[in-house]
Amino acid sequence: MIEEKIINCLLNEGGKELGFEILEKQIQFQKTRKDVEGDLTLVVFPFVKNLKCAPQEAGNKIGAILSSSISEIKSFESIHGFLNISINDEIWISKTNEILNNKRFGLQKENSRGLIMVEYSSPNTNKPLHLGHLRNIFLGCSISEILKANGHKVVRTQIINDRGIHICKSMIAWKKFAPVLKNGEKENPSNSGIKGDKLVGKYYVEFEKQLKKEAEELINEWKKNNFEGFETKLVEQVKSALNSNEENKLIELARNNTLLMSEAKRLLILWEARDPEIYLLWETMNAWVYKGFEETYKKMEVDFDQYYYESQTYQIGKDIVLNGLSKNQFFKKEDGSIWVNLENEKKDNKLLLRSDGTSVYMTQDIGTAIERFKDFPEIEGMVYTVGNEQDYHFNVLFSILKKLGYAWAENCTHLSYGMVDLPSGKMKSREGTVVDADELIEEVTSKAAQSSMERGHLDNMTIDEKEKLYHTIGMGGLKYYLLKVDPKKRMMFNPEESIELTGNTGPFIQYTYARIQSLLNKGDFNANSDLPSSILKEEKDVIKCLVNFPEIIKDAGSNFSPAIIANYLYELVKEYNHFYQSIPINKEEDVIKRNFRMTMSQCVADVISKGMSLLGIKVPNQM
């Protein structure tokens, strides 16, 4: 790399020539502006004080030293404290052949770095996968591939949240409200034709609907001063909320004291006690959901290496909590609930076991983390792909693990990402206002099909090939749209925009790849022929972008951000399309130039394919 040669030159020879010791931190590069000549820009200001001259003169002095010592430097220009350095064309030309002949260009040696576990998806078994899950899943899948590209061994995993009060809500609702059909069976996936995860989700929404109705009735009774059957402490809390007009507090009190919620809580206690009837119902309804999830994962083209289930790991967590209590790492309140004191970590105390002995999310997460490191003791790091609404939860989890003495907790990372909004507002699972994943996949595939048919050009394809193409374009658009935004940022999703063929979209990048394949199929070229002696600016701009690919992969891995790769691909495709539209390729009469431009096009296609693969996106040969 030319940057390394410049650094070495300045550190080893520059100081002698300039009369002072140069420190590595003084050597700073930045991207060269498009309105000036140059391939690389060195910031001159850090040297001005030592040189005791104007920035312009300082730049010229440094440029003279570099150009006399480094043969690859063709020329330089000092402008307002910035030294713009131009590299010989031969360097860029040779880079193209290096990229073409290196099948693993940009990728580190496989399994050359430690094992990292990446958790993603981790759904609840009380509802189907939705748009929010898609951002999570696509992020986790992409990060797994990016870490592999950086040489890491990776285990892709999820924790199935298959127990807890939310699961009990669906179970109670199905028991109470599912209709009995003519054959005497209650509604189920087999006799209703409803996908299993959707059927269970239907009853989760029904529970919330009935709960809201019962809570409203209860509040009306409280407003009439009717508190018969309620404990004194609750009555005092309700009256306080009524007197101070704390509507949200009043709703919370009502919801938690309805008969329906009491039934759900009792069901959870029975489940943890392994009541045979309740456990059978739980296994049956979870099986419906698992089958539904697998169908959706198949459409998404995602999978996992290892599964964990909350129903199995929560007990591990409970045992650890009870053991921690015996060692005074945790404490018990008068009501029997168990807590951890995190005041020294400047956090609130955290509940670990309820007063009735049932566990909470934190209990399960403690057990799951410990079980994972037992299963894979060589893990060097663990990445939790979970929305930023859980930032505090994971901060606390890692603190508890450290408190328990697990040194590996230092290597746990929360890949916190922003929520996905719709033009109509925030999604709410309780109210059933989420965008169903299956329906969204079907929608973008349908839009891709419509757009493709309007453009034509697919007459030579079979119906099956067309269907696969529509799915590839639709999923490419969907994945790219959700990955191109920095994970930390909240985002707005627009399915119409996701499959457009112009702008920063997946189909735009897929189309460029297909265009290059068409170009290569029509042309006749020899990739290893003689090389040109010089290249045009449009060609150099493409090559400069290609050369950045390894660093882009490295940055994406360090920052856990597929957006870095997505936006790099967009820039590469823009540069290539500008070149494609400005410079003749197949029609170029000079054989050497034509061969080189075809070779460069092949390199762009290869990098697009690799980059899109790291995003979990396929690229078609024809569109």
Per-residue model confidence as pLDDT tens digits over 398-416: 999 999 999 899 999 999 9
pLDDT of residue 429: 45
With a cut of 90, say whether residue 499 has pLDDT above it: no
The percent of residues in the chain predicted with pLDDT above 70, rounded, is 98
**pLDDT digits 0-9 by tens, 281-334:** 999 999 999 999 999 999 999 999 999 999 999 999 999 999 999 999 999 999
Q: Rounded to an integer, what distance in angstroms lies between the CA atom of residue 25 and that of residue 2?
A: 17
With a cut of 50, say whether residue 427 has pLDDT above it: no
Q: What share of the chain is helix, strand, coil (3-state, %, to 5)?
A: 60, 10, 30
| Angle at 370 (CA atoms; ends 364, 373), nearest 5 degrees | 140
Instruction: Say if CB 241 and CB 205 are below 8 A apart.
Output: no
**Per-residue three-class SS string for 387-415:** EHHHHHHHHHHHHHHHHCCCHHHHHEEEE
Main-chain dihedrals φ then ψ at residue 6, nearest 5 degrees: -65, -45
Chain mean pLDDT for the chain: 93
pLDDT of residue 434: 72
**pLDDT digits 0-9 by tens, 219-241:** 999 999 999 989 999 999 999 99
At 612, is the secondary structure helix, strand, or coil? helix
Chain centre distance of CA 495: 18
In single-letter form, the type of residue at position 96 comes to T
Mean of pLDDT values over 456-474: 92
Mean of pLDDT values over 589-600: 93
Q: Rounded to an integer, what distance in angstroms lies between the CA atom of residue 402 and that of residue 492?
A: 37
Instruction: Say if CB 72 and CB 88 are below 8 A apart.
Output: yes
Question: What is the dotted CATH code of the domain comprising 438-614?
Answer: 1.10.730.10
Q: Domain ranges in the chain? A: 2-87, 163-304, 308-435, 438-614
Instruction: Say if CB 53 and CB 38 are below 8 A apart.
Output: no
At 160, is the secondary structure helix, strand, or coil? strand
With a cut of 60, say whether residue 464 has pLDDT above it: yes
| Angle at 566 (CA atoms; ends 418, 464), nearest 5 degrees | 105
Q: Which residue has the tokens 């420190």?
A: 23
Instruction: Say if CB 159 and CB 368 are below 8 A apart.
Output: yes
**2-87 and 308-435 in the same fold:** no
The residues, ordered by sequence, that sit 6+ positions from 538 with a Cβ below 8 Å of its Cβ are: 578, 579, 582, 583
**pLDDT digits 0-9 by tens, 238-249:** 999 999 999 999
pLDDT of residue 359: 87
Instruction: Say if CB 510 and CB 620 are below 8 A apart.
Output: yes
Domain 308-435 falls in which CATH fold? Rossmann fold (3.40.50)
Mean of pLDDT values over 175-190: 94
Q: Rounded to an integer, what distance in angstroms lies between the CA atom of residue 513 and that of residue 498?
A: 17
Mean of pLDDT values over 178-204: 94
Question: What is the dotted CATH code of the domain comprising 2-87?
Answer: 3.30.1360.70
With a cut of 90, say whether residue 570 has pLDDT above it: yes
Instruction: Say if CB 391 and CB 106 are below 8 A apart.
Output: no
pLDDT of residue 328: 95
Q: Rounded to an integer, what distance in angstroms lies between the CA atom of residue 407 and that of residue 372?
A: 14
Mean of pLDDT values over 158-176: 95
Main-chain dihedrals φ then ψ at residue 477, nearest 5 degrees: -65, -45
**Among candidate residues 12, 2, 4, 13, the one with its CA nearest the CA of residue 40:** 2
| Angle at 578 (CA atoms; ends 573, 584), nearest 5 degrees | 115
